[in-house]
Amino acid sequence: MSLLRLVALIRRTGTVAEPAPPAPDPLPAARPLGGSVQLRHVDAGSCNGCEIEVAAAFGPVYDAERYGARLVASPRHADAVLVTGAVTRNMAEPLRRTVEATPTPRLVLAVGDCARGCGAFAAGYGVVGGVADVVPVDLDVPGCPPEPQVIVEALRRVTGR
């Protein structure tokens, strides 16, 4: 795409982010984070439905970044571990390690019904259980998959903005 066409596209598009709904009640455990939450995403055995919704939550329309949430590349940088999917046998130990590798104070968010231990794969032979069966969970996000605005709302409870 040429430079001028890109400029024209940017001008035509303008801002696509939807106006922010009123802020939900902040989570007390997230208060020390002070409006900045770095998230490490762990796919513990998801069907990728939740991944698409998480990606949409961080896309331009819902723009979760505007509330101070950001996805990062290492749990060492993270304040919260965002887990999607039922925890499979092979992912139980890596999930434990990821939470262990996150500096305190830290939170664990279980996103989607599978992560809450009740989704379509809950009784599968390769599934250990929900996230709460492996590591302590601070916040649940229901839905199969949860809609982006629900995910954003949960993130806003963590960032407090």
Q: Residues interacting with another protein, by CB under 8 A?
A: 3, 6, 10, 13-17, 20, 32-36, 38, 42, 60, 63, 65-68, 70-77, 79, 93-95, 97-98, 100-105
Residue type for position 43:
D
Cβ atoms of residues 107 and 80 within 8 Å: yes
CB of 144 to another protein, least distance (A): 25
- Residue 39 tokens, joined: 């998230």
Cβ–Cβ under 8 Å, residues 111 and 43: no
Q: Which is nearer to another protein, 15 or 125 (CB)?
A: 15
- How many CB atoms lie under 10 A from the CB of residue 29? 13
Smallest gap, in angstroms, from Cβ of residue 100 to another protein? 6
Q: Which is nearer to another protein, 113 or 157 (CB)?
A: 157
Which CB atom, from 93 or from 133, has the smaller least distance to another protein?
Answer: 93
SS3 assignment, position 119: coil
